[in-house]
Amino acid sequence: MTHVLLVEDDVDTRALVRELLIRRGHEVDACATALDALRLFRERPYPLVVTDWLMPGIDGLQLTREIRKLDGGEWCVVVVVTARQEVGDLQTVLDAGADDYVTKPFEISYLNVRLEVAERRVAETSRRRAAESAAEASRSSLERSRNDLLAILDLMRVAIAMVDAAGAVTFLSKAAETLLGVDRRSGSGSFWSDVLPLPESVVARVQEVAALPESERPRLEAAIVRRGLALQLEIEVRDDPRGLASRILFLYDVTERNELQQMLRDRQRLGQIIAKSRPMLEVFRLIGELAKVDTTVLILGETGTGKELAARAIHEASDRCEKPFVAVNCAGLTESLLGSQLFGHRRGAFTGAISDQQGMFEAAEGGT
C-alpha cells in the first residue's frame, strides 16, 4: 500500500480518481489546491502525488517544482493529469520535474495502466532509497569505526602510519610526527615511502613483508638520523583490523633498549664480579692465571673493595671449584681461641670444650 496525495480542483474527477486509487489498495489524501497539497506534504512526505495541471492559483507544474524542494520531494513520484493535449506538453511536464503525464478525459483502463507504471516506479524508488540508506549507514558505521580506531592509535605512544591499498598515507599518529619529524597533515595522502624517512633498502623490505601473510611477517630493523641523532627502529607491518586492504605500520624506537643491551654485552663477568673497565679486566686476567695453579695468594685492599669476591672467583675458576670454599672474617678471630677456630679441638681439650669442633682448615679440605 502506498500513501498517495491527490490534488484535483474538479470535485467529480477528484472523487473518481480517489475511488480508483483506493480500489488499487492505496491510502489517499485528497485536496483541491496546491497550497493545501504543500501543507500536507510538509507534514508528511508522500511517495506518490497525482496532481491536475490547470488549477486556480498555483498550477500543477509549479506545485511539482515546489514539492521537489521539500524534504522527501526528491524521492516522490509525480503524475500530472490534464485536459491539455498540445504538442510539447509532455516535455513541459518532464522539465517541471514530473515523472508521468495523463490526459483527460481518460479511460479507466488507461488510467489504471499509468497508475501501475507509477506504482512500479514508487517501488523501485523505495528500493533505491533503502539501498542508499543502507549504504550510508554502512559508510557512517565505517567512518565511526575508523575514527574510533584512529583515536585509539593516537593515544598509543608508538609511531603509527596507516597506509591504504594504493600506498597512500591515511593517518599518522602524534608519536610518529614527533619521532620522525614529519607533518601529519601534509603527509596525509602522500605515498608512504615519501613520508617516512626510511632507507631505500628498508622500504623494499617493508613492501616484501607486507605481501606476506600477517602471521609470517618478521619485524624489520632500520637506522635513521633525526635532528643529528642516530635512531634505531623496529618496524612491524599489521593488517587493518577492520578487514580493509590497508596496512598499519608500527615503528618502535628501540635506540635506548639496544644501547642498554650493548652495555650489558660490553661488560664482562667473573663469578659474582661484573665489570668493563680496563683495570678490572686486568684483575680478571690475573684471577684466571692464579686459578690455574695451587699456590697461596695474598689479596690486599680496603674494606668493601671485594677481596672475598676475588678469592671466591679464584676458587670457582680453579680445579678446586667442586670442593668447599670457606671465607674467614679475620677481624672476628680471638687470640685465645685462634688455634681452636683454625685447627679445631677435641672434647675436653680445655675448659668449655664440651664437644669436638671441626677447624676451618679441615672444613676447607681440598678446597679454598
Rounded to two decimals, what is the model's pTM?
0.42
Contact yes or no for 132/113 (Cβ under 8 A): no
Q: Which fold has domain 156-257?
A: Beta-Lactamase (3.30.450)
Look up residue 136 and give its three cell numbers.
550510508
Look at residues 349, 368, 352 and name the one whose alpha carbon lies nearest to residue 360.
368
Residue 45: count other Cβ atoms within 10 Å of its Cβ: 18
Please tell me whether residue 223 adopts helix, strand or coil conformation: strand
Contact yes or no for 246/165 (Cβ under 8 A): yes
Look up residue 202 and give its three cell numbers.
628498508
Quote the CA–CA distance of 99 and 77 in Å, as a whole number.
6
Tens-digit pLDDT string for the chain (368 aa): 788 999 999 898 899 999 999 999 999 999 999 999 999 999 999 999 999 998 888 998 999 999 999 998 888 999 998 877 776 778 888 888 888 888 888 788 888 888 888 888 888 888 888 887 877 777 777 667 767 666 776 676 788 888 888 888 888 888 888 888 888 777 778 888 888 888 888 889 988 988 899 889 998 888 888 777 888 888 898 888 776 778 988 888 888 888 777 766 655 666 777 777 778 778 778 887 888 888 888 888 888 888 888 888 888 888 888 888 877 777 666 765 666 666 666 665 666 666 667 667 766 777 77
Q: Which fold has domain 3-130?
A: Rossmann fold (3.40.50)
Contact yes or no for 224/190 (Cβ under 8 A): no
Contact yes or no for 368/326 (Cβ under 8 A): yes
Residue spans per domain, the chain: 3-130, 156-257, 267-321, 323-368
For residue 73, give the DSSP letter. Answer: G
Domains 3-130 and 156-257 share a fold: no
Quote the CA–CA distance of 120 and 102 in Å, as a whole number.
16
Look at residues 55, 53, 57 and name the one whose alpha carbon lies nearest to residue 78.
53
Contact yes or no for 116/25 (Cβ under 8 A): no
